[in-house]
């Protein structure tokens, strides 16, 4: 993956896709987990959004690590990096929760041998709680990361200065 695109760092560009994909996936998975009618109509949407988020998270982290190599490592930047590293496990749980919900829905709606196979009530509750955990955890973590990133960039007292920025500004 390139470090820059049109002379801009890739991280601020790709992070916007992640900031949209993770909450969209979390909201869709949570809605599907709590609303059976939506779950039946949503089909692959919660799982597809979750997989997209799962793919974007490591790309965002990698581009952030590249960007961090070129800025001062302030406390705000270090906090943002630490929080960013914690999103991948939540994205995995979110995706597994979406996959489990999709599996359960398919099992209940697709007859086998003329019979509908239902998921036991305790399993359905466990799958719902698992999906909600992934949705809540990933949504909260992406909000915390975004807030810390905004602090790192926009707090004029502690914002990192990219290497070579002063020379570009004075040209």
116-158 residue pLDDT tens:
677 788 998 999 999 999 999 999 999 999 999 888 887 655 5
Query: Position of tokens 């799958």?
Result: 127
CA distance 55 to 125: 28
In this predicted structure, what is the pLDDT of residue 3?
Answer: 73
Burial (0-12, 13-18, 19+ Cβ within 10 Å), 113: exposed
- φ, ψ at 112 (rounded to 5°): -120, 130
> 58: closest CA among 99, 11, 93, 94?
11
Range of the structural domain that residue 37 is part of: 9-156
Instruction: Render pLDDT for 23-76 as a digit per residue (tens, 0 to 9).
Output: 999 999 999 999 989 988 999 999 999 999 999 999 999 988 888 787 778 888
Residue 171: the pLDDT is 46
Q: Is 166 inside a domain boundary?
A: no
Beta bridge mates, 112: 115
User: Within a domain: residue 75?
Assistant: yes
pLDDT of residue 74: 84
**81, part of any domain:** yes
Burial (CB count within 10 angstroms: exposed 0-12, middle 13-18, buried 19+), residue 79 = middle
Which among 162, 146, 171 is positioned nearest to 4, based on CA atoms? 162
Q: Render pLDDT for 71-125 as a digit per residue (tens, 0 to 9).
A: 778 888 889 999 999 999 999 999 999 999 999 888 776 666 666 677 788 998 9
Local structure of 74: helix, strand or coil: coil
How many separate domains does the chain show? 1
Q: Which string of DSSP letters, residue by residue, matches 14-35? A: HHHHHHHHHHHHHHHHHHHHH-
CATH number, residue 69: 1.20.120
The pLDDT of residue 169 is above 50: no
């Amino acid at each position: 993956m390139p470090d820059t695109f049109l002379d801009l760092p890739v991280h601020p560009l790709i992070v916007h896709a992640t900031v949209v994909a993770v909450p969209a996936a979390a909201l869709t998975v949570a809605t599907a987990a709590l609303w059976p009618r939506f779950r039946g109509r949503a089909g692959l949407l919660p799982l597809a959004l979750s997989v997209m988020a799962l793919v974007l998270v490591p790309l965002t982290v990698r581009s952030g690590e590249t960007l961090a190599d070129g800025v001062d490592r302030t406390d705000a930047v270090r906090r943002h990096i630490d929080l960013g590293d914690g999103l991948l496990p939540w994205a995995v749980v979110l995706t597994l929760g979406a996959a489990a919900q999709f599996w359960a829905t398919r099992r209940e709606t697709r007859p086998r041998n003329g019979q509908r196979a239902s998921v036991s009530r305790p399993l359905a509750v466990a799958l719902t709680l698992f999906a909600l955990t992934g949705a809540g955890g990933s949504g909260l973590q992406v909000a915390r990361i975004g807030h810390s990133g905004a602090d790192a960039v926009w707090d004029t007292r502690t914002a990192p200065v990219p290497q070579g920025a002063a020379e570009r500004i004075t040209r």
